Amino acid sequence: MTERKGTEIRVRGQVQGVGFRPFVWRLARDRGLRGWVLNDAAGVLIRIWGETAGFTEALRDEAPPLARIDRIETREVTENPPDGFEIRASEGGAADTRVTPDAATCPDCLAEIRAPGRRHGYAFTNCTHCGPRFSILRGLPYDRAQTTMAGFALCPACRAEYDDPADRRFHAQPVACPACGPRLWFEADGVELSGDPVALAVAALKRGEIVAVKGLGGFHLACDARDPAAVGRLRARKHRPAKPFALMAREADLDRLVRVTPADLAALRSPAAPVVLMPARGTLPGVVAPGIDTLGVMLPYTPLHHLLLDAFGGVLVMTSGNLSGEPQVIDNAEARAKLAPFADGFLIHDRDIARRLDDSVLRCDPPMVLRHARGRVPGVIDLPEGFADAPEVLATGAQMKGAICLIRHGQAMLSHYLGDLDDPLCLSEFERAIADYRALFAHRTSHVAVDAHPGYRASQIGRDIAGREGLPVTEVWHHHAHMAACMAENGWPLRGGKVAGIVLDGTGLGPDGTLWGGELLLGDYHAARRIAHLAPAPLPGGDRAAREPWRNAVMRLDQAGLALPEPLAALPVQVIRAAARAGLNAPLSSSAGRLFDAAAAIIGLCVQAQSYEGEAAMRLEALAGTAREAAEVEDQTDGPQIDPAPMLRMLCGPAPAAERARAVHLWLAQAFARRARKLIETGAAQAVALSGGCFQNALLLRLTLTELSGLRVLIHRETPANDGGLALGQALIASAQSM
């Protein structure tokens, strides 16, 4: 009987597709243990017989590089053990495990494609430590038959690697080689060209042409970043006059482009391989990122990218392959139809993409994820203390920067970035993603959380799901959700006390029926109340005011009793003044984002129109960064309504433009931080949370943190401060209110 007593070990977390089973096999064999290991829908299941001391500790301490263990559970079992230790076939069932995100090419695979051998120059080389995962996954458990690699039968050499537990490609589901795997080719005008596809693409790039490149999560449009004519052609063809382009560069080229810190380099080299924002050195043509002092750069993250950059020998613009506002293209036929007006050639392959994933974007100083996407999803966030019994909530987020959140088993899963839901194709992709995530992770939704704005398509979809399935719906106020998202990321307990939330963003519906956006809230997950806010001003033209900064400038200057500077006075101001007086499509708003737009226009930046969301604020921040000090703003009152008139008077003054731009940021930071500090000092709040899209502004965030020095401050690091993180807050609020 003693011989039959063994231990069952359940390992939960990101433990499939990362080489965990062969790791367990080697660990057990090295210790002389008998038993077996397998994948199932809950993670990895192990049964072992023998001397097990230190075995579970080794599972954590020596796990493969891509593994992320959430918890290990053990129990005693009594049965006949096998003669040795074996890896058994996967078992199905309801999904209850983490899926590994796509991972950048590991050093071993990179060396392999550069060295003689059967994978020399092969663009789809990967192993258990790298390669496509979520982008090719169709179902769980994670086995080849459940991926878009199912149609590629393994050749004998790859099969031998796949079946050998001692090989780093053991059960690496996308394993392939030129004899059996996906094929790469280059085509132009719908015709495949003969020759080395990478060499043909490089030749096109060096001629100043634009090449569509099929990557992990979709197509990119690439051109020579050093060629202003090529970049200009891409802008003209894509109708993208000023929005900064992302870049792809070899690590050896980084120092010539940007000022790189060790933190930046660590992020760039990580398996997620995101786009990292870094200060530009000014060595590239201004047309790459007009009016902006930072560049978004990523390293090559697939073998194809490495081969392309090695052969090209320079820096490439690498921007999403899509029509303006639409989702990134992932299908070959769709790419030919939609990208032909942009691209002179296509570097393309026949491995299907199961779900589109844009590149993740982050900044390291101060640290913040700006876009939660490829390489980071589907990651999970452990729920704070007190949420162990949270129901299985589906939260649908907001209208801009669509993203959903699922709560299950004490964890929250925030989806990848799904775009602006005003676009019909993005909306369709959003609905598909909800069905995809719910099915993939067997989410038994018992509650739906939506933004309180009745016009948001995300909210309408959430209500429709709840109506069809007979589920309760929680309507969450926009800015309360922002604050709760920041609290959740920082592990603020359910009963941790009240938090002062400084929430600065574009617009979101407030409980009083007006559009909020410059708020100081006090509350917890259950509820929040408004303590202070920017004085509201009309938004003449509604959504047009978000696109045309001059409208906000006129309203704010009129409100402050200040004369319009010449560039503004020449515009049709009487029309919007009349609309504001009549209350005709001119809703009141306390938006900090629109105040930034107004300030930019007064200084002379993006006066008449923005060509992309946030352009005015980004250019204002870049200008402010050139000033060593800020212009002075007269003392302010400490009442609940924050009047920007003193700051506006400064803006119309004689100080240098850069000093005025910096003063805008400093004034806003001081006005809100001073009031938040009082809530802490009086004991009304135990911490300050900073959230909302305006805190993507690194200067504003730094200044606000300085003003709050000595206090406990919660900020976004791993989830976006913008609406891309809103669903997380909605889910926590709905859980708190229903428990």
What positions carry a catalytic annotation? Answer: 21, 39
Sign of the CA dihedral 322, 326, 327, 329?
A: negative
Nearest partner of 407 among 389, 421, 419, judged by Cα: 389
Distance of CA 570 to the CA centre of its chain: 41
Q: What secondary structure does DSSP assign to 672-722, as a single string?
A: HHHHHHHHHHTTS-SEEEEESGGGG-HHHHHHHHHHTTTS-EE--SSS-SS
What is the pairing mode between strands 447-451 and 393-395?
parallel
Q: Could you tell me the two tokens for 548?
A: 């045309």
CA 477 to chain centre: 22
| Tokens coding 555 | 């309203």
Instruction: Give kind and range of the element (H or E) at residue 518.
Output: strand 515-523
The pair of structure tokens assigned to 30 is 């090295």
Please, are residues 521 and 528 in contact by the beta-carbon 8 Å criterion?
yes
HSE-CB of 671 using CA atoms within 13 angstroms: 32
Indicate the SS3 state at residue 646: helix
CA distance 304 to 125: 9
Rounded to whole angstroms, the Cα distance separating 351 from 124 reads 9
Residues 129, 104: Cα–Cα separation, whole Å: 9
Residues 6 or more apart whose CB falls under 8 angstroms from that of 206 comprise 224, 312
Provide the residue count of the chain.
Answer: 739
Q: Which of 110, 305, 335 is nearest to 216 (CA)?
A: 305
Contact of 498 with 684, CB cutoff 8 Å: yes
The Cα–Cα gap between 222 and 411 comes to: 38
Cα–Cα distances in Å, from 133 out to 148, 200, 551?
10, 28, 47
Strands 85-87 and 367-371: unpaired
Instruction: Return d(Cα 438, Cα 423) in angstroms, integer.
Output: 23
Spatial distance between the Cα atoms of 314 and 308, rounded to a whole number of angstroms: 10
